[in-house]
A = this chain, B = another copy of it.
Amino acid sequence: MTSIDDVARASGVSTATVSRALRGLPNVSAATREAVLATADALGYVVSSSASGLATGRTLAMGVVVPNVSRWFYATVLEGIDAELRRVGYDTILFNLGLKGEDRERVFHRSILRKRTDAVIALCLDFTPSEREQLASLGHPTIVVGGPVNGLRHLGIDELAVARAATDHLIGLGHRAIGHLAGHPEHGLNKRVPRRRRRGYELAMAAAGLPVRPEWIEPSDFDIAGGREAALRMLGRSSRPTALFAASDEMAIGAILAARELGIEVPGELSVVGIDNHALAETFGLTTIAQDPFGQGRLAAELMLAELAGEPPRTDLIDVPTALIERASTAPPPAATSRL
């Protein structure tokens, strides 16, 4: 491995000058800089991150804690983060907890805390008090993407408002019998997200003077399989709603699949709305409240980088924008249609 000394020797200057030239510091003559860059390139020199990290106290790496990379939302946020970091020369260190969370202890105790990162971005997690304390004790910038967590900064959509907007969309179409595919509080994940989305639904219904029937709230996993099963249960009953607000697009797609299996027409006999604007939403013609996880990831990375650059931390709640996208899965209810 060629070191900075090799480059210095080969270009006939001191290591200090090489260091300065390579990092683009101002106090180097143009001629020297060029010469140094050329020899460094010729020798295939690359700075050792360990050495430079030790000298500067900066690792140029960001820790990203993810419940599960194979879920669309997390994966997409992760891509947004990585894209932004890569742009400025930062590395992404991945901490995948695994949905069952067996690795949490290991990740928190042994890995995150290993002084390998300058800052940490956590996705939509629920932290134990001890984990929160450990994160805080790191003393470096931290932010949570996707669900409010006590005592930690947070960035995400306004869950309540989004759920209300989705439900209101159905109400606005004339639906009165509206069910909700609610998310399970999943182990280790932020439990406020499913709770708030359900609460938003309840508030919207109440505001419209519509009854919420307990049998029309069906909890399930946040994915397609979960949504399908929950919808099969709910739609198989004698009296079923004319519309469904699903807590995520994947669940909504599951509901559409279930409806097809049961011979229920969407949107003719059943309207379905979700949240996310998942990659598959368009394929299924799903009406949804779009959020932009890639952008959220990028924003989180930008915020952390800004702080590392010395800017004062933003302490306000950061709500990112969402937008209703109307596709083919929602329509007025059968009764309302005949009334027209």
Contact = CB atoms under 8 A, between A and B. Distances in A.
A51 B53 CA distance: 8
Contact of A282 (B83, B96, B225): B225
A111 B89 contact: yes
A152 interface: no
B78 A69 contact: yes
B50 A224 contact: no
A133 B157 CA distance: 44
A82 interface: yes
A280 B226 CA distance: 11
B59 A50 contact: yes
Given A54-B50, A70-B75, A116-B49, A94 B111 contact: no
Nearest to A46: B113
Contacts of A47: 114-115
Interface string A217-259: 0000001110010000000000000000000000000100100
A302 interface: no
Most buried by B among A51, A87, A91: A91
B51 A279 contact: no
B46 A49 contact: no
A47 B93 CA distance: 17
A24 to B, nearest CB: 13
A161 interface: no
Contacts of A53: 49-50, 53
A70 B61 contact: no
Interface of A: 1, 44, 46-51, 53-54, 59, 61, 64, 68-70, 72, 75-76, 78-79, 82-83, 86-87, 89, 91-96, 98, 103, 106-107, 110-111, 113-116, 137, 139, 223-225, 228, 254, 257, 260, 279-280, 282-283
6 contacts: A48-B54, A61-B116, A69-B79, A86-B95, A91-B94, A93-B94
